[in-house]
Structure 1
Amino acid sequence: MVAVVAAALIGIQGLSAPNASAVIPLIPSFVQVVAHQDDDLLFMNPDVSGGIKAGVDTTTIYLTAGEGGEKTYSLDYVRDRQAGVRAAYARMAGLTDDNECRRDQAGPGGCWTLTERSMSGGIAEEFTLDTWTGLKLVFLNLPEASHTDDLVTLAEVENGWPPAIKTLDMDGDPNSGAWPHEYTRSSLVGFTSALLYWYGATTVRAQDSAPDMQLSVPGKWHGDHEAHVAASRLADEAVRDYGRVANERVLLEHYRDYNIEVMPPNLAQPERDEKDDIFAEYRPHDSVTGGTYGTEWTGAEYSRAPRGTKWVARDGNMLLHAFVVTGGGLFEWFQDNALNWQGPYAHGDNGWALDAGLSLHNNADGRMEVFLRRRDTGEIVTRFQSAGGGWGWGELGSPNEVSGPWANSPSLRVSSPVVSSNADGRLQVFVRNAGGGISTRWQAAPNGSWNGWTDMLGSDVQGPPEVVKTYNGRMELFAPTRGRVLHWYQPAPNAPFVSDANFPNITAASGLSTGLNASGRIELTYRRPNDAHTMTLYQAQPDGGWLGPGDFSPGADAHGGVGEPAMVTSHGRMVAAIRNRGGGVSFSRQAAPDQPFGAWTDRGGLLVGVPAAGLDRDGNIVMLSISPSGLLYVSGERADGSFSSWTSHG
């Protein structure tokens, strides 16, 4: 018997005024913070190249010199790797040959201009593309290994000891000049935060601060590189500081690193070819890797903490609310009684570092509750409406131990939560636990306290599961692994879950989404490995067996892109919205209730994460996306089924 444990409640507060505290203008600006000169090319593409194609100012900050782990290092090798990323970024900016200028070089005859950028107690080498000054590469040149001269490494200083780290001697004179430069951990975070301010960052991309240690990659430290983890954790702190003082709307996105090698390939062939062509510009400059190095990662790009599609929902008055986590905390937009969008309103973060993924649901009495994950501990927390109209914070803890130094706490492998309600109104939350299975908590009574965590078993689950409430009040749960999808279901409303050993054998190269047909049949949607086609597995009848999988666009353009679809049913027909290869939104609609989906329509735009969709008070679809500048973009369904132009809010 599971003991009843009440979630800790932490005060009740009102909302702040609409956000007006961004010191910098909300003009889109991507900034990547990575450890090495190839991390962005291998693990953050095609997102980086997509932003450059869209004309968004883009800066990449390389924390280490990438000098390698040999006993001795060569500055020539460091300079070669810098030249490699200059060549790769020049190609992404449209310079496909050296006829106009040397794409890998700075100075006379080269495509780049070098500036030594000093501020806030730090120094960096900044390379700016001459044909587009909004494209910059910034090198701090910190050591990634100790070598024979016992240099302090990035991982060591991030871990807290030794207390200071020196850069490599980039000017060749240890007794004069700006190099080497020394940082403490706090001054390194401060300098990185100052660079985010200098480059006007509105979306920051970082690496994996807590790699999944169940994903085994031969020869890699816990399936990753210690400098990747250190760079991500330092970037997290820099973004938090930057969000407090300059731009609380800054978005923070995390990417998996080496372990995408053992994940299902999720890029369509055109995106994979382009990613490989870009890396091919870098590869000849790296004498240590060379050869075919990199091809094990050019077929995939995976978010480490996906935002998901569950960030919009209706309140008790059938008005839509959208919640987004930024570097400054949780923000909310909502429809007023005239169906106009208001906000954003700042909920803060209660002193916690919040992950991007969240899930919304109403309590039995209509009060909204937002379920989130703490990035610093992995614990699940909530932001809930009180009966008096204010908002409070609650804690649901973690199914796993919150302990361990550095990035080793088991709880850090817990996923963002998903939530639904039982037939009697009791909320139930589900997460992927540190063991790779599923854990759940549920309210002991509608609107009441919470039972403790229960292990539903399972293994190799990747990311958050997906839960759907059926036409008759039961819940069904789906979880993607690398080789199949796991399925649990309630045999009756409010009943315990049962594992389905006979669920069809499918592999998803994305998260999962569900929708309900007009007849009540469930459709499970996902991306197929290798070509990114959107697929559907569907019930033959309500509560019945499963048919498929079926391709949304057999023999036609599937619009590429990554991430799961957002699913919504309007006037009896389901609509799926995806992030497409251009970084915008495409949608497909059923031709008629309970019928196959039609061709994809590109709605344009440029978003962070994946789109969301909901129904307004009149039953019309509203598509939503978050722009790189942190603005909410909305497109509403018209009476004829078409959609309005995107409008920005906040």
Structure 2
Amino acid sequence: MNGDWLIRGRDGRLTVYLPSGDAVLCRAELGPGGPWEDDPRTVGGAQKLHPEAAVGQGADGYAHLAAWRPTAPGESGLVHSTHFRPHLAPLDWTPIGHPDKKGDRTGPPAVTVDGAGRGYVFVRNGNGGVSLRNQKVKGGWGGWLDLEGHDVEGELAAVTGESGLVELYASVPGGILRWRQESDGRKPVRTEGVEAPVRPGTLCALATSAEHTTVFFTDGSGDLCAWRPGEKPVTLLAVAGPGPVSAVRCVIEGYDCTVLAQRSASGRVAFAAYPTEQESAGAWWTESGPRLPADAVVSVALDEHEEVVAASLSPSTGTVLLTRRKDEPGLALEAWREI
């Protein structure tokens, strides 16, 4: 899943979104703090999907999902679903078409939700740039928009700032491209990016203040770097393992902190925390939990008490493990348990 697949609904309950063969599954807490539903539910009905779905969440707590589905031999189209409440079934998948009108998959989609609750689905197009289709102010969907760009690689990172305006980041050889809305409902426009040796598939974007988004990425030497538009990237620490980090902001002992999580090279989950936007303070990894399969991924969120909660998912086994922050100083975590 591209995006934060562990989310908290507006009623305080957590939901996980899980890829499973030709479907996306969801599983929710029965109440804030658990227990969890016995069995996952299928998102969007019986339509068969391709892998690499995406999920994003709006300030209203609603989850928006996008995925590719086969439409004809050698051809695919994108579909979208909205999940309003953890205890409700997600809406059926709605076809939203192909950025090049027709053809096969062009790249994994990315989803974010603007301040008014409208979904934005981004995807690489056949020209190597990025296309967008988004929900309109008065309902329904607008047409596909070509945002241009070139040589886009890996997964896109879509995010909505505290202003409610949508941003998109894409890795290209030697750098990161950036698009941003200038005002509500407007087409995102290409703006300043950055030259940096970015490993494709490692972008993670997080709104870290009213003015800034921080983008995390792995550079060519295996370091985790942080970049805010208008500034130069800074090295934070060596990556714990492959793939992107998952990031969330929370308050730890009265301080606004950014918490990062990543499956480490040893197979466990590694956590790091530092004062938000103060990379110079330094950070270091602390590993937690059991050793996980090589395909395991991690997602972090905040629970009903605004405390850190983390989940790991192994697609090969379907196993989901969960941990929460203890009521202790620092980032102490409970024992991981299977849900």
CA contact 2:64–2:112 (8 Å) conserved in 1 = no
Does 1:573 pair with 2:257?
yes
Matched letter for residue 578 of structure 1:
Q
- 1:454 deviates by 1.0
CA distance in 2, matches of 1:357, 1:427: 15
- Residues 540-585 of structure 1 show CA distances to partners (whole Å, capped at 9, x for unaligned) of xxxxx223x21122xxxx3542111111101121111112212332
1:202-601 equivalences in 2 (<5 Å): 307-327=1-21, 329-340=23-34, 341-347=36-42, 350-362=46-58, 367-374=62-69, 377-385=75-83, 389-390=88-89, 391-402=91-102, 410-412=103-105, 414-445=106-137, 448-500=139-191, 502-511=192-201, 512-518=203-209, 520-529=211-220, 531-539=221-229, 545-547=230-232, 549-553=233-237, 558=238, 560-571=240-251, 572-590=256-274, 592-596=275-279, 597-601=282-286
Deviation at 1:389, TM superposition (A): 4.2
Q: Matches of 1:362 and 1:385 in 2, distance apart?
A: 11
* Cα displacement (A) at 1:537: 0.8
Query: Do the aligned partners of residues 470 and 518 (structure 1) sit closer, same or farther apart at CA in structure 2, a change above 3 Å counting?
Result: closer
For 1:473, what is the secondary structure of its paired residue?
A: coil
Spell out, residue by residue over 1:518-555, the C-alpha distance to the aligned partner (whole angstroms, 9 max, x if none).
565321101111x322111125xxxxx223x21122xx
* CA 329–643 in structure 1, closer or farther in 2 if over 3 Å, else same: same
- Secondary structure (helix, strand or coil) at the match of 1:503 reads strand
Contact 2:100 2:126 (C-alpha < 8 Å) held by counterparts: yes
Letter in 1 for 2:284: A
SS at structure 2 position matched to 1:546: coil
Residues 505, 631 of structure 1: alpha-carbon distance in 2 compared, 3 angstrom cutoff: same
Alignment pair present for 1:603 and 2:288: yes
Distance 2:75 2:48 in 1: 9
Moved more, 594-603 or 471-480: 594-603
Which TM-score applies when normalising by structure 2? 0.85
User: What SS class does the counterpart of residue 104 from structure 2 fall into?
Assistant: helix
User: What secondary structure, in the 3-state scheme, does the structure 2 residue paired with 1:552 have?
Assistant: strand
Contact kept, 8 Å, 1:479 with 1:486, in 2: the verdict is yes
Q: Higher relative contact order at CA 8 Å, sep ≥6: structure 1 or structure 2?
A: 1
Q: Unmatched 5+ residue regions in structure 1? A: 1-306, 403-409, 540-544
- Judging by fraction of residues, say which structure has more helix: 1
Say if 1:606 and 1:441 are closer, same or farther in 2 by CA, change over 3 A. same
Contact 1:417 1:430 in 2 (8 A): yes
Alignment of 1:153-192 (within 5 A): none
> Relative to 1, partners in 2 of residues 1:378 and 1:483: Cα closer, same or farther, differing over 3 Å?
farther
C-alpha root-mean-square deviation of aligned residues, in Å?
2.5
Task: State the 1:437 CA deviation.
Answer: 0.7
Q: Is the 8 A contact 1:574 1:593 kept in 2?
A: yes
Distance 1:386 1:576 in 2: 27
Distance 1:618 1:477 in 2: 30
Q: Which residue is equivalent to 1:623?
A: 310
Letter in 2 for 1:535: C
Q: Does structure 1 retain, via aligned residues, the 8 Å contact 2:157–2:169?
A: yes
More strand by share: 2
- The structure whose Rg is larger is 1
SS at match of 1:583: coil
Query: What SS is found at the alignment partner of 2:126?
Result: coil
Is 1:645 paired with 2:330?
A: no
Q: Which residue of 2 aligns with 1:208?
A: none
Q: In 2, distance between residues paired with 1:645 and 1:520?
A: 36
CA 1:398–1:620: 2 relative to 1, 3 Å: same
Q: 1:458 to 1:619 in 2, by over 3 A?
A: same
Show the counterpart of 1:277.
none
Counterpart contact for 2:118–2:135, Cα < 8 Å: yes
Change in Cα spacing, 1:343 to 1:395, as seen in structure 2 (3 Å) is farther
Larger CA deviation: 366-375 vs 629-638: 366-375
Aligned 8 A contact 2:58 2:115 in 1: no
Identity %: 22
- Determine the C-alpha separation between the residues in 1 that align with 2:317 and 2:18: 13
SS of the equivalent of 2:159 reads: strand
Distance 1:464 1:559, change over 3 A: closer
Asked whether the 8 Å contact 1:311–1:324 carries over to 2, the reply is: yes
